Amino acid sequence: MRAFVLTGPGTYEVQDIPEPVAAPGEVVIDVERVGVCGTDMEFFTGEMAYLHQGHSSFPMRLGHEWSGLVRSVGAGVGREWLGRRVTGDTMIGCGDCRRCLRRRGHVCEKRREVGVRDGQPGALAEQLAVPASSLHPLPDSVDATLGALVEPGGNALRAAQAASADRNERVLVLGPGSIGLLVAMFARAGGADVHIMGKEQSSLDFAGTLGFERLWREDTLPDLPFDSIVDASNAPHLPALALELVEPGGRIVCIGLAGEPSRIDTRTLALKDVTAVGLLSASPALDATIAAYADGSVDPRPLVAATVGLGQVGAVLAGERPRGARAGPKIHVDPRNIAG
């Protein structure tokens, strides 16, 4: 099969490699769609922390936002999975430790991460082998594009839930990238009054096409009480700004990662009685995200600007926009696209 292999920082190949075989407890997926995300780009540049912490190494196969059809099953896996459209959890815990037994496998110390940590190749290939226990079935109303948006959507839904983004709440989302816009969509679906702050006017303009009207830059933010603020940016100064702006008794949620440490004044945190939440992983919210996509309460398909083949992935990771791409922030890959 064909697979995109990152051989080092900024170097890559589309290789012909052996097709995976389903081991006991595993399935093999015919991959239909894969999302490219900021984590993939950090691996491409060599900046991803896992590379320096010994969790990941080159060569590696990226791709953790995916959907596809179950092609084959290994021993111990029910044949009812065959032919089903599915997506899968990125985080695969050991299953035996204290965290896993408490349903916190996404922070298991020994966890594997599809397309991220060593030992679990990703979905930027025509086929993918994953544990059957990580699968989440997709209903007919959730197509391949939506299926590959479940993983980022699960992260965003958790952020919206952590912000208590429901009716009568005013929520400010910092950063109108893929995750920030998904957070805004889920918060809006819950009835919150959603505001979005961005840096680039083009990103704010795109948010406007999604029906968001309260769009700001840092120097134009209105003097309003924000009950919750979600930092979905990579700007190191914004967590401190969030703490400054949030209402006493409110909540700040950190889901974006900066390239350097962010600092906040914990005296302000305490004296304002603010709850601060950090989030890793979509795992606890995957099924709820699928349900929201299935019933149409959230439709993130406009976020996808283009769908390319494996041969174009390197250029996308290097920051190039595909020819003819629309305005959205997300690029998808169809590994079956021979022309790409």
Helix and strand numbers (H, E) in the chain are 11, 17
Answer yes or no: do 112 and 174 share one domain: no
Same domain, 163 and 145: no
Enter the DSSP assignment of 311: G
pLDDT at 269: 98
Same domain for 203 and 110, yes or no, is no
Phi and psi torsions of 146, nearest 5°: -60, -40
CATH code of the domain in which 141 resides:
3.90.180.10
- 293 occurs within a structural domain: no
Is pTM beyond 0.95? Reply is yes
As for how many domains the chain has, the answer is: 2
Tokens of 150: 């479940």
Same domain? For 18 and 96 the reply is yes
pLDDT value of position 166: 78
Q: In whole angstroms, what is the distance from residue 223 CA to residue 178 CA?
A: 26
pLDDT for position 259? 84
Q: What are phi and psi of 187, to 5 degrees?
A: -65, -40
Identity of the amino acid at 50: Y
Q: 117 and 44 in one domain?
A: yes
Cβ atoms of residues 306 and 325 within 8 Å: yes
pLDDT for 338: 77
| Same-domain status, 184 and 95 | no
Q: Which residues of the chain are modeled with pLDDT < 50?
A: none
Rounded Cα distance between 196 and 245, Å, is 13
Percent of the chain residues topping a pLDDT of 70: 99
- Are residue 233 and residue 169 in the same domain, yes or no? yes
Label each residue of 115-171 as H, E or C: CCCCCCCCCCECEEEEEHHHEEECCCCCCHHHHCCHHHHHHHHHHHHHCCCCCCCEE
Give residue 267's pLDDT. 98
CATH number (domain holding residue 260): 3.40.50.720
| Domain that includes residue 264, residue range | 156-278
Same domain, 160 and 190: yes
> Residue 238: which H helix or E strand, with range?
helix 238-245
Query: Does residue 176 belong to any structural domain of this protein?
Result: yes
pLDDT of the residue at 218: 97
What pLDDT does 294 receive?
98
Residues 98 and 175 in one domain: no
